[in-house]
Amino acid sequence: MLRFHKEGNSSIAIVLLVATLLQLANHTFLIDYPIAYYFVIAVWVFLVVMILQFFRNPKRTTIQNEKHVICPADGKVVVIEETEEGEYFKDKRLQVSIFMSPINVHVNRYPIGGQVVYSKYHPGLYLVAWHPKSSTENERTTVVVQTSGNVSVLFRQIAGALARRIVCYAKQGDKAKQGEEFGFIKFGSRVDIFLPIGTKVHVAMNQVVRGGETVLAELT
C-alpha cells in the first residue's frame, strides 16, 4: 500500500483542492474546446502525480548492525573524500554525500543507532546542492549520533536551490534507532555524512542508493 509522509499532508491537500477547482472551471468553460480541455486535464494530473510521488513514504527494512552505516537518504553518491569538519569534530573526517533529486524519496533515516549527542539548525543560503560551499553556507541541520562503542557519526541535512524547509526530529538526548526517520527535506537537496578516517566505504561515486537499506560504510 502506498504511504505518504505526514510532512506532505498540507501540500497534498492544497494540490488536490486546486486540481478539483481547475477541473470544475475546465468543464464549465472549455468543454467545447477539446484541445484546451484535455491540456488542462494533463496539467492537473501532472501536478497531482508529482506531489504524490514526492511525498511518498515507502516502508524500508533495515538490518540492524552496529558496525554498518546505512544510507540516510535515497539518491546518488556525489562526494567521497577526506575533508575538514569544522562544526563539531573540528578535525579530518571522511565525507560521503548523497544528492536527492525531486523524484527521490525525501525521508531521512538514522544511519546508525545510539545516542543523539548534538543537534543544531543553521539558517543559510540556497546554493545548488552540488555546490562545494553548500555544506557550510546553505540552510542545514547537523546531527551527531554516538554508538554504544563510542564512535560518533555526523550527518547533515542540506537545503538545495529548490528546498526551502528542512524538518529534523532529532533532539539532543534522543535515542536513535538505525533506519528510523529523523527528518525530511522538501524539494531536492542532499545529506552529508562525516565518518572517522579509516572507515571502510561500501559505495562508489554516482552509485544510486536507498535510504534505510543500502550499506554506506563499515565502522572499524
What does the domain layout of the chain look like in residue ranges? 6-54, 68-218
How much is the pLDDT for 133? 66
Would the pLDDT of 181 be above 80?
A: yes
218/184 Cα distance (integer angstroms): 25
189 is catalytic: yes
> Quick one: which of 14, 66, 67, 100 has its CA closest to 220?
67
Statement: residue 198 has pLDDT above 70? yes
In angstroms, rounded to a whole number, what is the distance separating the alpha carbons of residues 113 and 122? 24
pLDDT band at 54 (very low <50, low <70, confident <90, very high): confident
pLDDT at 188: 67
Report pLDDT for 160: 73
Alpha-carbon span 7 to 181, nearest angstrom: 12
- Active-site annotation holder among 134, 135, 152, 189: 189
Dihedral (CA of 84, 214, 58, 208) sign: positive
pLDDT value of residue 161: 66
CB 189, CB 135: distance < 8 Å: no
Q: How many CA within 13 A on the CB side of residue 131?
A: 16
Number of C-beta neighbours around residue 90 at 10 A: 9
Determine the topology of domain 68-218 in CATH: Glucose Permease (Domain IIA) (2.70.70)
Confidence (pTM): 0.86
Per-residue pLDDT, 113: 97
Q: pLDDT value at position 134? A: 66
Asked whether the predicted pLDDT for residue 21 surpasses 90, the reply is: yes
Distance CA 29, CA 64 (A): 57
Q: Rounded to whole angstroms, how far apart are CA atoms 212 and 220?
A: 20
C-alpha distances in Å from residue 217, one per residue of 10, 144, 201:
36, 16, 4
